[in-house]
């Protein structure tokens, strides 16, 4: 008897695949050593490792406890919602677009698109506020990295 995969299992597999796509993209980053022998691949590798581990943990939880997840909700308890695939696709698309565009349009604009894409996926009510705050957040992060003496791709050298 075969069981169909649940929405949580598919979501976990999506997180793992997203991590593997990011791992593949990391190979395009030059491996020259940076400060204190930490190269530019270090932090992206941490993120990829975290994504794949979280996806694995989600998959393990969804496959080891399917009976508990499939049980009807207790009286008075709210039922567990299914995975929101639209939101997952929007966040994944924003992240992949960020990775693809950061070298072309710079950290600030690519980061703004990433933050704004996540806001749209979360269905926030004020898109103009989200766009402005997304820009200010990524611009501030860019300035922090400049202050620390770290180089990020910029559209206009040293500004954005």
pLDDT of residue 158: 52
- Coil, helix or strand at residue 87: helix
At 29-86, the pLDDT tens digits run 877 755 656 677 888 899 999 999 999 999 998 888 754 544 555 666 666 677 788 9
CB 127 within 8 A of CB 120: yes
CB 108 within 8 A of CB 135: yes
Binning pLDDT at 50, 70 and 90, where does residue 1 land?
Answer: very low
Using alpha carbons only, give the angle 15, 54, 130 rounded to the nearest 5 degrees.
65
pLDDT of residue 8: 84
pLDDT of residue 69: 45
């Amino acid at each position: 008897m075969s069981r169909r995969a649940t929405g949580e299992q598919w979501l976990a597999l999506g997180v793992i695949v997203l991590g593997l796509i990011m791992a593949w993209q990391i190979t395009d980053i030059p491996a020259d050593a940076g400060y204190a022998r930490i190269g530019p691949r270090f932090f992206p590798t941490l993120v990829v490792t975290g994504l794949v581990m979280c996806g694995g943990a989600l998959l393990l939880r969804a496959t080891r406890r399917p009976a508990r997840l499939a049980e009807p909700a207790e009286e008075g308890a709210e039922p567990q919602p299914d995975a929101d695939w639209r939101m997952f696709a929007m966040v994944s698309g924003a992240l992949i677009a960020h990775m693809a565009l950061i070298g072309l349009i710079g950290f600030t604009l690519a980061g703004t698109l990433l933050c704004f894409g996540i806001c749209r996926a979360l269905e926030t009510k004020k898109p103009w506020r989200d766009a402005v705050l997304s820009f200010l957040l990524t611009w501030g992060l860019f300035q922090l990295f400049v202050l620390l003496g770290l180089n990020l791709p910029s559209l206009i050298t040293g500004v954005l």
